[in-house]
Chains A and B, each alone.
Chain A
Amino acid sequence: MSGDGRGGATRAEYCVIACAEAWRGAGEILASPMGLVPSLGARLARRTFAPDLLLTDGEALLVGPDGTVEGWLPYRQHLALVTGGRRHVMMGASQIDRYGNQNISCVGDWSLPRRQLLGVRGAPVNTLNNATSYWVPRHSRRVFVAKVDMVCGVGYDRAAAHPGTARFHRLPRVVSDLGVFDFATPDRSMRLASLHPGVTVEQVEEATGFALAVPEEVPYTREPSVEELRLIREVLDPGNARAREVQG
């Protein structure tokens, strides 16, 4: 295992920590992680600093940390919970722009796509109703683009045009294999919030297809604690599936 942090954490482990931090202070809400690393992050957060989080089994059941079923959440109730707002989802993004507009529908012209992807899924309802973060396992100019081909998840510039309807719009963070990003700038454009240890600002800028806001001092993503590393390695992901999603 490589890694430059003092704790000997791998890049994938910093990503898990960075995802987990999305749910710090979230309270008693549903964490909806999509994908492996966000899922490890959410489960780690619940086992440590965010014990009140609700999590599903990936289907229709709400389950406790040990797998005990504590509730029922079929799709129709899940959609009501989204609209009720007591949820923070972390979705994937095939494309994302500097204001956080996200695309998972298709690449190219929508009427005849060059590459058909999933479709908009629940991205429009998620972004107008509950906190929505994003996870990008391979940070590149193909993903961090100047303009997304189809706006599925609503970004800050578009939300600003609909202040009433978008009053619950919030994009807390974007986590990639290179760092953590937020929209804490005056014009709500994307900002580099932290670098994973071993990554440089230049590397991030090179892999991003738009001008990022970069503070003078960019912190590093925090170190995992000994206990967090133990939980990730021995309890949550003993098969090290995280290393297949994030190299290094």
Chain B
Amino acid sequence: MSDKTMTAEEAVARLESGMTLGIGGWGSRRKPMALVRALLRTEITDLTVVSYGGPDVGMLAAAGRIRKLVAAFATLDSIPLEPHFRAARERGAFELMEVDEAMFMWGLHAAANRLPFLPVRAGIGSDVMRVNPSLRTVTSPYADGETFVAMPALRMDAAFVHVNRADRLGNGQYLGPDPYFDDLFCEAADTAYVSCERIVDTAELTEEAPPQSLLIKRHVVTGVVEAPNGAHFTSCAPDYARDEPFQKRYAGTAWPEFAERFLTGDEHAYQAAVRAWREEEA
């Protein structure tokens, strides 16, 4: 069986400008930030980003890499409004497909199941229909005759997710309280890159946790990247909590200044810069 391990640089090198990229996690929770940082080090741009948005969206928006965003929100959780997403929206920096959280989920399900759409009782009556004039409705063929939104499949060229453990084959494991939608992102994308806190032997995966924690199956995974602290500064329970002081710093700093201090080098340099910052603050 094939060893899919690669570096974050090798993963992002397989992407191209103009692609549709799904990003797992939720808000400021278990986001594949090391992969996002690697993407920021490339020239790749003009992306359609599909995300339950957090700082992944904020950073890519601040760096001008997003042509179109598909999202229900962007938040830092403990800081309700993502500042760079917000600034980008207020200067009209990208096109937005704003849908409800459940519509988004059914769009992922549709793509994972190779269906063109799935019916959703959400969106009707709201301005989601006004701001997305391409959305269509579908009427039940049964006696109820109800009308639903026909949520189109959110098919993606590539997906990035971050989990706690993975083996070299691409079996991914979450150990925190919520899987979010990372398995669906991988199933709904043509290629999926899974970063993890630690690559372990396959047998070790079920030593630490039950098989129900094996969220992602290898047949939908293209590459496995070992990225310790790779969700930083978002949370990655139980390995670590959100780095609240650092997130505050991110939210309160002008983007060029933040990028200059933390994002000019590689991942190792980022982690070192964060440690140096922490020592300064202590």
Chain A residues near B (Cβ < 8 Å):
59-61, 72, 74-76, 79, 82-83, 105-106, 110-125, 127-129, 150-154, 158-159, 161-162, 164-166, 169
Contacts and interface: CB of A to CB of B under 8 A. Distances in A.
Contacts of B120: 125
A194 B230 CA distance: 51
Given A76-B105, A162-B125, A120 B178 contact: no
Interface stretch (B8-16, B78-86, B220-228): B78-86
B102 interface: yes
A132 to B, nearest CB: 12
Nearest to B147: A165
B121 A128 contact: yes
Contact of B124 (A72, A113, A115, A162): A162
A105 B173 CA distance: 34
Contacts of B125: 124, 127-128, 151, 154, 158-159, 161-162, 165-166, 169
A124 B123 contact: yes
B263 interface: no
22 contacts: A59-B177, A60-B177, A72-B177, A75-B178, A76-B105, A76-B181, A79-B102, A110-B131, A116-B86, A116-B90, A117-B81, A118-B75, A119-B53, A120-B128, A123-B126, A150-B127, A151-B126, A152-B128, A153-B126, A159-B125, A164-B145, A165-B148
Contacts of B72: 119-122
A147 B92 CA distance: 23
B74 A111 contact: no
Contacts of A159: 125
A222 B236 CA distance: 44
Contacts of A161: 125
A122 B121 contact: no
Interface in B83-115: 85-86, 89-90, 92, 98-103, 105
Contact of B147 (A111, A118, A164): A164
A185 B18 CA distance: 52
A129 B90 CA distance: 31
Smallest CB-CB A-B distances: 10 pairs: A119-B73, A125-B122, A60-B177, A125-B102, A124-B100, A116-B89, A154-B125, A60-B178, A151-B127, A74-B178
A21 B146 CA distance: 33
Contact of A124 (B81, B122, B144, B180): B122
A35 to B, nearest CB: 10
Contacts of A82: 102
A113 B90 contact: yes
B80 A114 contact: no
A242 to B, nearest CB: 19
Contacts of B80: 118
A113 B98 contact: no
B179 interface: yes
From B73, B89, B101, B126, name the one whose CB has the most chain A CB atoms within 10 angstroms. B126
B50 interface: no
B74 to A, nearest CB: 6
A110 B90 CA distance: 10
Nearest to B181: A76
A75 B73 contact: no
A113 B124 CA distance: 22
A75 B90 contact: no
Contacts of A72: 177
Contacts of A117: 81
A116 B90 CA distance: 6
B3 to A, nearest CB: 31
Contacts of B177: 59-61, 72, 74
Contacts of A127: 125-126
B105 A120 contact: no
Nearest to A119: B73
Contacts of A152: 126-128
B81 A112 contact: no
Contact of A119 (B71, B123, B147): B71
Interface string B147-171: 1100000000000000000000000
Contacts of B102: 79, 82-83, 122, 124-125
Interface in B47-83: 53, 71-75, 80-81
B127 A75 contact: no
